[in-house]
Amino acid sequence: MAFEYAIKHGHFRITTLHKTNVMRLSDGMFVKACRDVSACYPDVEYKEEKLDSFCLHATTNPGRYDVLLTTSLYGAFVSAVCGTMSGGLATVPAAAYGPKAAVFSTVSDYGYSNHCRSEDDCVVVRMPYEREPIVNPTGMIRAAAWMLDHAGMVFAGRRIAGALETAIQRGVRTLDMGGDASCEQFTDAVINNLESPILSDGGGGGGGGDEKCCHTSS
């Protein structure tokens, strides 16, 4: 799935992340399977790297990576690192692809990261004098755009992505993104952009291009 996904979206570099120096049997089998599959895709540049080395280089030179292929366990770490670097986990969409179905979601849940065990483990942005967390809907909206694209509704997906990016570029941002908009205000701005004639052709806001996200697959 990872190689098919990469080619479909115009990416031709895949890096497999592993810890074969510690998990010799399980990760060894995983890496061998990746090598065997990579041989069927000669047009895709295939590399392997240890997980700890990736964490070092990703924070200093993220441009050296394109599509990341790893296990579910390591994928949780990778998504947290890459999501934080790209603006916070609330801004990052998530997708799980299978041969017959796909599930789309966000790595953030009501202001809390799914990687957090409790509220005390997480940084939650709150409005002054209120106890309700402010939800950043960016990740969920991007996930919806991905879902439409996967379902073959590419035009609709790009319109939503374009409306979202236009809102951000115009300065409409939630507190965790350095703004003061509530979840409702941010969403209303995206909807208003969808209704704008500028986006009627699917353009505007750069939404038609590839997003700079790290995709993990197992």
- pLDDT per residue, tens digit, the chain (218 aa), is 889 989 988 999 999 999 999 999 999 999 999 999 999 999 999 999 999 999 999 989 999 999 999 998 898 888 888 888 887 888 888 888 888 899 998 875 433 444 444 444 444 444 443 445 578 899 999 999 999 999 999 999 999 999 999 999 999 999 888 898 988 999 999 999 998 765 544 444 433 334 434 444 44
Strands 108-109 and 102-106: unpaired
- Measured distance between the N- and C-terminal CA atoms of the chain, rounded to whole angstroms: 9
Contact 59, 148 (CB under 8 A): no
Number of domains in the chain: 2
Residue 122 lies in a domain: no
At 204 the pLDDT is: 43
63 and 39 in a common domain = yes
Structural domain boundaries, residue 92: 88-114+131-198
Residue 42 lies in a domain: yes
23 and 106 in a common domain = no
At 108 the pLDDT is: 55
At 154 the pLDDT is: 92
109 and 95 in a common domain = yes
Residue 165 lies in a domain: yes
Residue 203 lies in a domain: no
186 and 104 in a common domain = yes
Report the b/e string of 20-45 with b at 16+ CB within 10 A: beebeeebeebbeebeebbeebeebe
96 and 46 in a common domain = no
Residue 174 lies in a domain: yes
Residue 103 lies in a domain: yes
Contact 208, 202 (CB under 8 A): yes
pTM of the model: 0.72
96 and 27 in a common domain = no
Residue 215 lies in a domain: no
Residue 30 lies in a domain: yes
CB atoms within 10 A of CB 189: 20
102 and 50 in a common domain = no
78 and 27 in a common domain = yes
Give the span between the Cα atoms of 67 and 51, in whole angstroms: 14
56 and 94 in a common domain = no
105 and 44 in a common domain = no
71 and 24 in a common domain = yes
Give the span between the Cα atoms of 37 and 93, in whole angstroms: 26
